């Protein structure tokens, strides 16, 4: 009893509170997005908002449980969870139904279970477990191999289900690896390639190469007296050629894509395309103006316009009903929430908790940037939920567990000391 009280006082309420603020805002937004005048009760379980309420109750129970059990339950058995989730990913490939081209859900009748959401959790746990070992450093090749395998095995399996969005999220673990010692060039060249990929959507490969050439020419000119000039020159030429080749291949791959995928990309690059979702999303957000139309008063994001209004495009409802003010406040809340986890992670004494904390921020940050970037027409349409906000039981529960486990670890920092 005393311990519980002590425990309660040690909870990081800033983190805990911002998480629950997001969950509640999410629920209210789902209610507004899916509002049906013939079922006005927010607890009506025949509607997505009523179902979300049930999931929220489940999350409360999970909170109580997780906050009261030793976090070793997660850390010690992390490899077992990892193996279980790998197996369920394999299983889902064989038994799942095809939903919009993705085989990612196991249907339990009342609800659908999406193993890829839990794969993120178990991969975070397993990676943290592996990397927290004091003997593991990135001076050894073995570390790279094991860490990459831990990431790419579930990622490959998710990709095999044609669930591109969830697969991309696994790349976020590279932030984690980098933070704890992975060679910097891997992350930077990854980001560079991503950057070139996005540029390739807007510009022709030769334009990108020419642009790079100008930058490098200036850089070379300034280093013209350097002893290393020859090496710099070689390096520059190689990088221009590689960039050009990469950009050309991106263009080629896009031209070989399915029509609907190419459309999505073209819409984003302003090339005319024909993606209904993005267009409607921009209209909804844009029509919110400065202060929005008011809660439940959105017209564009309701009803027939946006098919994924309660899931992937949930951000539109906020944009339309609360305007610029609302979206900025929401972004601030979300950024605060992520920064708070980083802050707390840095304060952890246990290596495991620190790495794990960093892992979950990486996941959140990736979801944040892809989902909102897509809603704002900055990135191609990739189906990926906005944490705590998008409708979807598995995703809500998985994110809640993900963060609550960290909060519990944070408490243990005091208990153990």
Partner 1 sequence: MRDIFPNRIKVLQFFIMFWFIIFTLRLFHLQIIDKNSLKRSQSNAIKELIDYPQRGQIFDRNNILVVNNQSLYDIIVTPSEIDKNIDSFLLCQVLNIPIEYYSEIIKKANNISKYKPFIFLKQVSFENYQLFQESSFKFKGFYAQTRSIRQYPFNCGALIFGDIGEVDSSQILAYQDYAYLSGDYIGKNGIENYYEPYLRGERGIKVIMVDALNRVKGTYADGKYDKEPKAGFDLESSLDINLQIFGEELMRNKSGAIVAIEPATGEILAMVSSPTFDPNLLSGKSRNKYYPILLRNKAKPLYNRAIQGLYPPGSTFKSIIALIALQMNAIDTNFTYYCPGYYPIGAKRLKCSHRHAPCRNIKEALTQSCNPYFCQTFRNSIEIDNSRYSAQLDYQIWYENMMKFGVNKKLDLDLKNEKKGNLPDTTFYNKIYKNQWKPTTVISLGIGQGEVLMTPLQMASSYCVIANRGYHYTPHLIRKILISDDKFELPQIKKQVINIQKAYFESVIDGLEKVVQVGTGRSAKIADISVCGKTGTSQNPHGQDHSVFVGFAPKHDPKIVVACIVENAGSGGSTAAPIVSLMIEKFIKKEIPTSRMGLVNSIKNRVITKFKIDETDSTTKKQN
Q: Which residues face 106 on adjacent strands?
A: 113
Q: Interface with partner 1 by CB under 8 A: which range of 58-66, 85-93, 369-377, 409-417?
A: 369-377
Q: Is residue 323 a contact point for partner 1 (CB under 8 A)?
A: yes
Q: Interface with partner 1 by CB under 8 A: which range of 199-207, 212-220, 222-230, 272-280?
A: 272-280
Q: Is residue 165 a contact point for partner 1 (CB under 8 A)?
A: no
Residues 250-269: x/- map of binding to partner 1 (CB under 8 A)?
A: ---------x----------
Q: Is residue 299 a contact point for partner 1 (CB under 8 A)?
A: yes
Q: Give the phi and the psi of residue 172 in degrees, each rounded to 5.
A: -60, -25
The two beta strands, 106-107 and 112-113, are antiparallel
* Cα–Cα nearest to 331, from 320, 319, 349: 319
Q: Is residue 303 a contact point for partner 1 (CB under 8 A)?
A: yes
DSSP 204-240: -HHHHHHHHHHHHHHHHHHTTT-TTHHHHHHHHHHHH
Asked if 293 and 318 touch (Cβ cutoff 8 Å), the reply is: no
Of residues 8, 24, 133, 252, which one binds partner 1 by CB under 8 A? 133
Q: Interface with partner 1 by CB under 8 A: which range of 13-21, 50-58, 93-101, 364-372?
A: 364-372
Nearest distance in Å: CB 167, partner 1? 19
Of residues 71, 327, 394, 395, which one binds partner 1 by CB under 8 A? 327
296, with CB counted inside 10 A (0-12, 13-18, 19+), is middle
Asked if 268 and 380 touch (Cβ cutoff 8 Å), the reply is: yes
Q: Interface with partner 1 by CB under 8 A: which range of 241-249, 295-303, 382-390, 391-399?
A: 295-303
Q: Is residue 342 a contact point for partner 1 (CB under 8 A)?
A: yes
Alpha helix segments (H runs only) across 161-301: 164-169, 173-179, 184-202, 205-222, 229-256, 259-268, 276-287
- The residues, ordered by sequence, that sit 6+ positions from 92 with a Cβ below 8 Å of its Cβ are 103, 104, 105, 106, 115, 116, 161
Q: Is residue 391 a contact point for partner 1 (CB under 8 A)?
A: no
324, with CB counted inside 10 A (0-12, 13-18, 19+), is middle
Nearer to partner 1, 51 or 309 (CB): 309
Binding site for partner 1 (CB under 8 A): 131-134, 136-137, 175, 178-181, 187, 259, 274, 276, 279, 282-283, 285-290, 293, 299-300, 303-305, 319, 323-324, 327-328, 331, 335, 338-339, 342, 346, 351, 354-355, 358, 361-362, 365, 368-369, 372-373, 376, 378
């Amino acid at each position: 009893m005393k311990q519980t009280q002590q425990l309660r006082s040690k909870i990081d309420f800033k983190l805990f509170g911002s998480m629950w603020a997001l969950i509640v805002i999410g629920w209210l937004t789902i209610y507004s997005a899916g509002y049906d005048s013939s079922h006005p009760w927010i607890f009506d379980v025949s509607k997505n908002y009523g179902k979300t309420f049930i999931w929220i109750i489940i999350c409360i129970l999970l909170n109580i449980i997780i906050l009261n059990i030793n976090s070793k339950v997660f850390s010690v058995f992390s490899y077992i969870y990892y193996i279980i989730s790998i197996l369920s990913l394999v299983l889902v490939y064989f038994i799942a139904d095809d939903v919009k081209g993705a085989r990612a859900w196991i249907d339990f009748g009342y609800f659908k279970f999406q193993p890829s959401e839990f794969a993120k959790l178990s991969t975070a746990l397993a990676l943290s477990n592996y990397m927290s070992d004091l003997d593991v450093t990135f001076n050894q090749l073995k570390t790279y191999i094991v860490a990459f395998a831990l990431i790419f095995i579930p990622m490959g399996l998710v990709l095999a289900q044609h669930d591109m969005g969830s697969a991309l999220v696994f790349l976020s673990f590279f932030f984690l690896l980098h933070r704890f010692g992975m060679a910097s060039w891997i992350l930077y060249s990854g980001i560079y390639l991503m950057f070139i990929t996005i540029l390739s959507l807007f510009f022709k490969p030769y334009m990108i190469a020419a642009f790079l050439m100008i930058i490098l020419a200036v850089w070379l000119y300034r280093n013209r007296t350097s002893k290393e000039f020859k090496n710099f020159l070689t390096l520059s030429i190689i990088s221009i050629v590689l960039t050009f080749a990469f950009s050309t291949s991106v263009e080629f791959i896009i031209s070989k894509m399915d029509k609907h995928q190419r459309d999505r990309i073209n819409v984003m690059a302003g090339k005319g395309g024909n993606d209904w979702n993005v267009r409607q999303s921009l209209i909804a957000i844009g029509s919110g103006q400065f202060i929005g139309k008011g809660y439940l008063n959105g017209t564009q994001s309701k009803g027939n316009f946006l098919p994924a209004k309660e899931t992937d495009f949930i951000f539109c409802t906020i944009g339309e009903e609360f305007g610029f003010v609302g979206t900025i406040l929401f972004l601030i809340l979300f950024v605060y929430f992520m920064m708070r986890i980083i802050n707390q992670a840095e304060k952890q004494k246990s290596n495991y908790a620190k790495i794990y904390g960093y892992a979950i921020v990486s996941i959140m940050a990736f979801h944040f940037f892809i989902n909102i970037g897509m809603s704002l027409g900055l990135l191609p349409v990739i189906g990926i939920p906005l944490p705590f906000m998008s409708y979807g039981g598995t995703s809500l529960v998985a994110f809640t567990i993900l963060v609550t486990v960290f909060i519990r670890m944070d408490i243990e920092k005091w208990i153990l000391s």
